[in-house]
Amino acid sequence: MAERRLRVPPCLRPGDTLGVVAPSGPPARGPLKRGLRALERLGPFTLRLAPNVDARWGYLAGRDAERAAGIMAMMTDPGVRGILCARGGYGAGRLLEYLDFAAIRRHPKVFVGSSDVTILLLALLQRAGLVVFHGPMVAPDFGLLRSRRTRESVRALLLHPGRRYTLSAVGRWWGGRGPAPLRGPLTGGNLTLVAASLGTPDEIRTAGRVLFLEDVNEEPYRVDRMLWQLRAAGKLRGLRGLLYGEFTRCRPVRGRPSRPLAEVLEEYAAAANVPCFGPIPAGHRRDNVVLPLGGWVACRPEGAGRAHLTLGY
């Protein structure tokens, strides 16, 4: 069955109103306030917070229906031009059954998140048919890290009508293919959530695409298990390329037998048998550049241990 044509959101403009939603965990107030101030200056933008941003239901920012209502209100409000997530954590997958994806498709707008929000990004991409953006969130990124490269990617991809961002990344070419160009539609996100999507209505579609993966605080054996799961489910077959983001603090517990993380990543890059580069500056680190899921990426070798990336949509 042919997939629907993706809808591309309009670019943001200085003075636009942006919605801030909390689909997962509750943001800490200090980083949230700092992030809101930084985001206001970036456009400059006017910000509107979903009612549940300050809500608490254990480890969630309000009950599932509350969090979903905040997203639907922002998505369907014609005065809101774009939406950023306050933070990740856990819980975005719990609210998917409450979302009206047909209504969301009728109102395409910039939607940015990462980490636990990966499952929501995949649903918006695959069910609503929208280009969405894996990228910085208000509290952890704008509130704490304040990366120049991250801000540059926001301006280039979300505010500039050219909708293109180029960067040079330092890393390595993984697997047996060696340095080789790759290009294709982009999908992916946090490895834990990508693996968790399998067997659900939002199971990631990878064939004919470039797959991006990152994670945080996972021991190498857990990274191995999740990459094995993707391979066993056929998600590493038919790729156009593989991009590794940052695997932050993915190290073994002291004294516990382990394989090196690099060895694990190398094994699955070789299994995919496509050009693979990483890390690119995206994930749970200071730099978390915007990646257009449903858009495209081109990556070519640029000397030893470097790559030139172009992102667009």
171 and 79 inside one domain: no
Strands in 210-216's sheet, in edge-to-edge order, are 164-170, 306-312, 296-301, 182-190, 210-216, 241-248, 276-278, 172-174
Q: What distance in Å separates the CA atoms of residue 144 and residue 262, rounded to the nearest whole number?
A: 28
The band of 177, judged by pLDDT with boundaries at 50, 70 and 90, is: confident
Cβ neighbour number for residue 266 with a 10 Å cutoff: 16
Residue found by looking up tokens 């160009």 in the block: 181
Number of structural domains the chain divides into: 2
- Catalytic residue, chosen from 66, 214, 218, 246, is 214
Cβ neighbour number for residue 125 with a 10 Å cutoff: 22
- Catalytic residue, chosen from 114, 134, 153, 284, is 284
Last residue of a domain, one of 80, 113, 146: 146
pLDDT higher than 90, residue 97:
yes
66 flagged as catalytic: no
87 and 178 inside one domain: no
Q: What distance in Å separates the CA atoms of residue 161 and residue 312, rounded to the nearest whole number?
A: 11
183 and 92 inside one domain: no
Q: Answer yes or no: is 154 within a domain.
A: no
Distances in Å between the Cα of 240 and the Cα atoms of 36, 82, 237 are: 37, 30, 9
The band of 147, judged by pLDDT with boundaries at 50, 70 and 90, is: confident
pLDDT higher than 70, residue 2:
no
DSSP for 227-258 reads HHHHHHTTTTSS-SEEEEEEEET--PPTTS--
284 flagged as catalytic: yes
The token pair that represents 93 in the structure block: 């997958």
- Alpha-carbon Rg for the chain, nearest whole angstrom, is 18
- Catalytic residue, chosen from 115, 147, 153, 197, is 115
The band of 79, judged by pLDDT with boundaries at 50, 70 and 90, is: very high
Q: Answer yes or no: is 245 within a domain.
A: yes
Q: What is the CATH number of the domain that holds 95?
A: 3.40.50.10740
For residues 138-169, one letter each, b for 16 or more C-beta atoms within 10 angstroms of the residue's C-beta and e for the rest, the string is bbbbbbebebeebbebbebbbbeeebebebeb
Distances in Å between the Cα of 280 and the Cα atoms of 68, 76, 246 are: 31, 34, 7
The band of 1, judged by pLDDT with boundaries at 50, 70 and 90, is: very low
pLDDT higher than 50, residue 240:
yes
Q: What is the CATH number of the domain that holds 191?
A: 3.50.30.60
The mean-pLDDT minimum among 19-28, 71-80, 175-184 falls in 175-184
147 flagged as catalytic: no
> Is the pTM for the entire model greater than 0.85?
yes
Q: What distance in Å separates the CA atoms of residue 120 and residue 296, rounded to the nearest whole number?
A: 19
Q: Answer yes or no: is 126 within a domain.
A: yes
Domain that holds residue 129: 17-146
Residue found by looking up tokens 């094995």 in the block: 228
